[in-house]
Amino acid sequence: MNKRRLLAIIKKEFIQIRRDRPSLAIAFLMPLLMLFLFGYAVTTDVNNMPMAVLDYDHSPSGRLLADEFIATSYFTITAHPDNYQEVRALMDSGKVKAALIIPEGYESSLKRGEKATVQFLVDGSDPLFARTAFQTAGILAQVESQSLLAQAAAGAGRPQPQGPAVDIESRAWYNPGLESLKFNIPGLIGLIMQNVTVMLTAFALVRERERGTLEQLMVTPIRGSELMVGKLVPYMLIAFIGTAVILAASTLWFQVPVTGSILLLLALTVIFLFFALGVGMLISTIAKTQLQAMQMTVLVILPSILLSGFVFPRSSMPPFLQYLGDIIPLTYFLEILRGIMLKGTGLADLWPDVIPLTLFGVGVVVLASRKFRKRVE
């Protein structure tokens, strides 16, 4: 690699990026915008669901159960209807998303050691609402039952209840994977940064091809590697600043702290960005037009949301899909982000992710350099 040629390309790219306002906006504003968009989408949908409580029993045990719902902060009791018709009207109008109906004799059933049944209604039109509501209700029932069982065991004269003391009737299957904001934010950082960086470089070469400047460059002594690295360096800097900014927003605004070493996280971010930018560059060498580059970018980004483990755990996927996930930069970076941010994991435990991330990064950039032919055919 010739230093003078490399520097010439880096300088040229910086000048062009500086004059290209839309690209600058994508690089700096889009990550923040997406973080806030997704960050809030994830938090608000399970918080403060309006709920109605129809209490036929008017007992301390019934009120205690309703309070348990409020304590989860998933529900806010906004209505106290007097009969079932009113509950129906509230649900129909959408004023409440859930309703708890405590039947007459709830407390007395509990006292007798019999199974007490309450009804829990959920607006199922939004499956995410419904699932979270069901999960919460299920957990509450378990907790309530256990505490009552404990009380029963302590109280000598009371008869031993058979099975769970409180049964909340709900017909949804139970999924213990309640995803919290804390778990989501590190993944979001990785996902957003991967998509933005792949998009940034996917156009880097295609644009020159379309404008005809690439043909001019091909008839110069320039080398493929100089062109690739020269184009990567400026985008690397931009993407790095972008990552630092959304990392700051995550800790300061969303209160997701970095438990482990920030320096280690930033260092590994560089490796991740190198891989992601390399993937974009490879797309750019293969694509003939900007449209093709865009389509290929989508082809990479969409499966990576699922295959990287961002939504579903990779361990439960069939081997073929796991292999596919192995070649996605986000897969490794997710482990690194979640590890360092949430668990405070150190480099010693992250090697299994750092090594493939580095190898694939170098591999993809070398491949892009090789793929770039100084010929038109």
Partner 1 sequence: MKQESRDLGHERFNSRQTSVPKGDPPVPPAIVVEHLKKQFGALVAVDDVSFTVPAGTIFGLLGPNGSGKSTTIRMLCGLMRPSGGSGQVLGLDIVSRAEEVKSSIGYMSQKFSLYEDLTVMENIHFFGSIYGLPQAEIGSRYRNLVERMRLGGRERQLVGTLSGGWKQRVALACAFLHQPRLLILDEPTAGVDPVSRRLFWDILAGLAADGVTILLTTHYMDEAESCHLTALMFRGRLQAFGPPADLIRQAGLRTLEDVFIHMVGEGGREVE
C-alpha to C-alpha distance for 125 and 131, rounded to whole angstroms: 11
Q: Cα dist. 32→35, 147, 244, 245 in Å? A: 5, 44, 11, 8
Under the binding rule (CB under 8 A), the answer on residue 126 touching partner 1 is no
Region from 4-12, 32-40, 276-284, 317-325 binding partner 1, contact rule CB under 8 A: 4-12
The single residue listed with the structure tokens 């300088």 is 11
∠ CA 73-77-79, nearest 5°, is: 165
Exactly one of 48, 76, 151, 216 binds partner 1 (CB under 8 A); that residue is 216
Residues 9-68 close enough to bind partner 1 by CB under 8 A:
9, 11-12, 15-16, 19-20
Under the binding rule (CB under 8 A), the answer on residue 5 touching partner 1 is yes
The residue among 20 and 67 lying less far from partner 1, judged by its C-beta, is 20
x-or-dash string of contact with partner 1, 175-214, rule CB under 8 A: ------------------------------------xxx-
Number of residues that bind partner 1 (CB under 8 A): 27
What is the smallest separation between the CB atom of 372 and partner 1, expressed in angstroms? 13
The residue among 90 and 227 lying less far from partner 1, judged by its C-beta, is 227
What is the smallest separation between the CB atom of 367 and partner 1, expressed in angstroms? 21
Exactly one of 157, 163, 221, 319 binds partner 1 (CB under 8 A); that residue is 221
Burial class (CB in 10 A: 0-12, 13-18, 19+), 89: middle
Region from 68-76, 95-103, 120-128, 215-223 binding partner 1, contact rule CB under 8 A: 215-223
C-alpha to C-alpha distance for 45 and 66, rounded to whole angstroms: 21
The residue among 192 and 232 lying less far from partner 1, judged by its C-beta, is 232
Under the binding rule (CB under 8 A), the answer on residue 358 touching partner 1 is no
Region from 218-226, 245-253, 303-311, 329-337 binding partner 1, contact rule CB under 8 A: 218-226
The residue among 47 and 216 lying less far from partner 1, judged by its C-beta, is 216
What is the smallest separation between the CB atom of 240 and partner 1, expressed in angstroms? 24
What is the smallest separation between the CB atom of 287 and partner 1, expressed in angstroms? 19
C-alpha to C-alpha distance for 70 and 67, rounded to whole angstroms: 5
C-alpha to C-alpha distance for 362 and 369, rounded to whole angstroms: 11
How would you classify the pairing of strands 49-55 and 98-102? parallel
Grouping H, G, I as helix, E, B as strand and the rest as coil, residue 173 is: coil
What are the residues facing 120 on neighbouring strands? 100
What is the smallest separation between the CB atom of 230 and partner 1, expressed in angstroms? 10
8-11 long-range contacts (CB < 8 A, ≥24 apart) are 8/230, 9/222, 9/226, 9/227, 9/230, 9/231, 10/230, 10/233, 10/234
Burial class (CB in 10 A: 0-12, 13-18, 19+), 171: exposed
The single residue listed with the structure tokens 């957003």 is 192
Structure tokens at 174: 């139970």
Binding site for partner 1 (CB under 8 A): 2, 4-5, 7-9, 11-12, 15-16, 19-20, 211-213, 215-222, 374-377
